[in-house]
Structure 1
Amino acid sequence: MNAPFEVPVVDISPYVRGGTDAERAVTADAMDTACRTVGFVQVVGHAVPDEAAADLASAVDDFFALPLETKKQLCAPKGVNRGYTPPKSENLSLSLGLQAADRMNDFFEAFNTGAAVADYPDASVPLDPALYPENLWPAESLVPGFRQRVQTWEAQAGRVARTLTAVFADALGLEPDWFRGVTGHSLDVLRMNNYALPPGTVDLDGDLTGMGEHTDYGIVTVLWADQVPGLQVLGRDGHWHDVVPADGALLVNLGDAMARWTNERWMSTLHRVKPPVVDGSIQRRRSVAFFHDGDVDAVVTALPGTVEDGEEPLYPPVTIGEHISAKLAGSRDLQENTDAVREAARVLASAR
């Protein structure tokens, strides 16, 4: 009989507070096991202040409470991964090349911020403003303190993400600063998601999709979320399992870059959101994902020792920028991605 599905808990405090080599080794080993078996991790010991999380939640509430037409004024031009995304304007499944003609686009609404060209004045290569665009912020008079609250969380999540890459380096037997070489001008994005819509905006008769099946694109995602059901992870058993963050934990999952660097020793775990419907109404759910994606020019190819002699890597080399552009063309521009065959096959084989 298979063991019940669960998301492992990993304490990263030895990397946060300067633990001993032995303590760090225990953490790295636990992370390797979690990444080999699940790809989602409940991370504790991260030292993110409770106040920062509470301020983030209030910022999310304040922004999404604005009238829809006001929020739409913060929509970015097509192809720019910043600003407001209205409901039903994205389809995350298309980032895997999966068509769903009988299903509406994902009904979540979102607001994105992220790293801009100006954030990396010492970048080793010229940065494309299309991939490192400036942020769009609501006026201070509309949402007082919004920018400050969001940027405070962004800094905390970024610190956790960089700490995690140090854990990853030890877990994979790499040089301690290996990930610094591919994250000096990382394509980092913070995405705030809201899954509750006003009455009458959603037809509850069909296959309701809060956010379609997808993998994340880069190195690692640090997720704050309500303790509300809805997030589902595809297990190695081919079934979808509900995941709710534990008290005080941040949910962390791997992106495609890690799966490709490790030649699928570690997997970018497929996930989706299927919010609960209670008495014909959608229960509200919020989440905020920090995507630590890596440098636009970093080449992702199988690490030494991850490919058996005489075998070929599972994926051809690709830069972070090329990979993410193809994924975003699917999810945001609704163009089918033809470069995600392995991930799409796992979705198609799942017990949906």
Structure 2
Amino acid sequence: MGRPESGGGFVVPTVDISAYVGQGTAAARQAVAHAVDEACAAVGFIQIVGHGIPASVIDGLTCAVDDFFGLDPEDKQRYRVCGANRGYTAPKTESLSLSAGVESAARMNDFFEAFNIGVEARSFTGLDLDEADYGINLWPDIEGYRSRIEAYFDAAQRVAGTLTDIFADALGVEPDFFERLTDHSIDVLRMNNYALPPGTDVTLDGELTGMGEHTDFGIVTVLWADQVRGLQVLARDGSWNDVTPAAGALLVNLGDLTARLTNDRWMSTLHRVRPPVVNGTIERRRSVAFFHDGNADAVISTLPSHLEYDNGLAYEPITVTDHIAAKLAGSRGGKLNAAAVREASRVLHAAEK
């Protein structure tokens, strides 16, 4: 659960979603939808159990992650990102805080490395989709790697679909509301490794950043993570709070597009990763985020039922592809995302506390 960094009673709620995974009663599903609604409004992060992903699939995922990040640096560079959001990114080549509209003194200094795979344009026969949005995957030449990653990808994709079913019930929209936004969703699996190469000297009280403060881009994120400290979530009171997943649980957080739909009643919560320092040294930490971002051509507008929130100021409609492009231009292109006004104001408010 969540543990406050600076006092208070910050908690990431735990919700058992098994009523939506199996044949739950209408009353049981209503209770889940109500719990999710409360968690999304209060925190924007949830721990979910009863998600139905077998331990063997998660074990296969973590072994595959270890296999790739255990390669020599030169071998990993063979799979570096080129163009679309697929492949390898090396340490200190991104700055997530720029995607949230915040200029960081430690520009392009996030020390994590990552590897991305996702849905491809050719996966959707009959649709003329742009490979700039739905890139071609680069598969490492590691025995069994692709099958293990795809098994988890399929499971996480199912969980994301279950969550949007719950969201539809919680928000009182049509049952197929999110399906219409996600039937050719830009889904990406990002595997993160927080570790420094052996023999690297580092000052632990300097500007080193695991991953800068940011919000996720799309509709919902499903996160598997080690039980190693590092992830911090920004509470509504402006405090940063440590969050460690419970055994067997997945962390879920909302993305910007869901915040736009609900006019920030449901928050796309800012989060960051601090260097996982244990006994004076940086301990390796792994996480795997499944981003369910929505159809590239979908237009996201504030729901009429939520126009009264945030003093009646609704978000301007935006396509999924335009929103993601602006965010990636910040994190990878080093360009400050001037459109992220609300996110930046929350970061600055936290810095003042």
Q: TM-score, normalised by structure 1?
A: 0.95
* Structure 1 partner of 2:139: 137
* Structure 2 partner of 1:13: 18
Whole-angstrom distance in 2 between the partners of 1:115 and 1:217: 16
* Structure 1 partner of 2:3: none
Whole-angstrom distance in 1 between the partners of 2:178 and 2:277: 42
Contact 1:35 1:267 in 2 (8 A): yes
Whole-angstrom distance in 2 between the partners of 1:224 and 1:175: 30
Specify the SS of the correspondent of 2:143: coil
Contact 2:222 2:291 in 1 (8 A): yes
Whole-angstrom distance in 2 between the partners of 1:186 and 1:264: 22
Report matched runs for 1:303-318 at 5 Å.
303-308=303-308, 312-318=312-318
Structure 1's unaligned 5+ residue stretches are: none
How much has 1:338 moved relative to structure 2?
Answer: 0.8
Whole-angstrom distance in 1 between the partners of 2:201 and 2:14: 36
* Structure 1 partner of 2:330: 330
Whole-angstrom distance in 2 between the partners of 1:288 and 1:329: 22
How much has 1:237 moved relative to structure 2?
Answer: 1.5
* Structure 2 partner of 1:156: 155
* Structure 2 partner of 1:46: 51
Contact 2:86 2:116 in 1 (8 A): yes
Specify the SS of the correspondent of 1:69: helix
Report matched runs for 1:276-291 at 5 Å.
276-291=276-291
Whole-angstrom distance in 2 between the partners of 1:51 and 1:30: 28
How much has 1:200 moved relative to structure 2?
Answer: 4.1
Specify the SS of the correspondent of 2:20: helix
Read off the aligned partner of 1:87 and give its amino acid letter: P
* Structure 2 partner of 1:199: 198
Report matched runs for 1:182-221 at 5 Å.
182-201=181-200, 203-204=202-203, 205-221=205-221
Whole-angstrom distance in 1 between the partners of 2:189 and 2:206: 30
How much has 1:144 moved relative to structure 2?
Answer: 1.0
Deviations along 1:33-86, one digit per CA (max 9) or x if unpaired, are: 000000000001101000011111100111000000100010122x42100000
Change (3 A) 1:70 1:286: same
Instruction: Tell whether 2:89 aligns with 1:85.
Output: yes
Contact 1:96 1:214 in 2 (8 A): yes
Report matched runs for 1:220-235 at 5 Å.
220-235=220-235
* Structure 1 partner of 2:236: 236
Q: Alignment length, in residue pairs?
A: 345
Change (3 A) 1:92 1:309: closer
* Structure 2 partner of 1:270: 270
Whole-angstrom distance in 1 between the partners of 2:307 and 2:137: 40
* Structure 2 partner of 1:61: 66
Deviations along 1:99-146, one digit per CA (max 9) or x if unpaired, are: 1134651000000000110111143xx21111111100111xxx2111
Change (3 A) 1:291 1:309: closer
Read off the aligned partner of 1:186 and give its amino acid letter: S
Instruction: Tell whether 2:39 aligns with 1:34.
Output: yes
Contact 1:213 1:272 in 2 (8 A): yes
Indicate the larger mover: 169-178 or 313-322: 313-322
Read off the aligned partner of 1:116 and give its amino acid letter: E
Read off the aligned partner of 2:329 and give its amino acid letter: A
Change (3 A) 1:211 1:261: same
Read off the aligned partner of 1:29 and give its amino acid letter: H
Q: TM-score, normalised by structure 2?
A: 0.94
How much has 1:98 moved relative to structure 2?
Answer: 1.2
Contact 1:231 1:275 in 2 (8 A): no
Whole-angstrom distance in 1 between the partners of 2:286 and 2:26: 37
How much has 1:96 moved relative to structure 2?
Answer: 1.3
How much has 1:241 moved relative to structure 2?
Answer: 0.3
Deviations along 1:234-290, one digit per CA (max 9) or x if unpaired, are: 011110000000111100000000000001110001000002323542111000000
Structure 2's unaligned 5+ residue stretches are: 1-6
Whole-angstrom distance in 1 between the partners of 2:242 and 2:314: 29
Read off the aligned partner of 2:190 and give its amino acid letter: R
Read off the aligned partner of 1:97 and give its amino acid letter: G
Contact 1:218 1:258 in 2 (8 A): yes
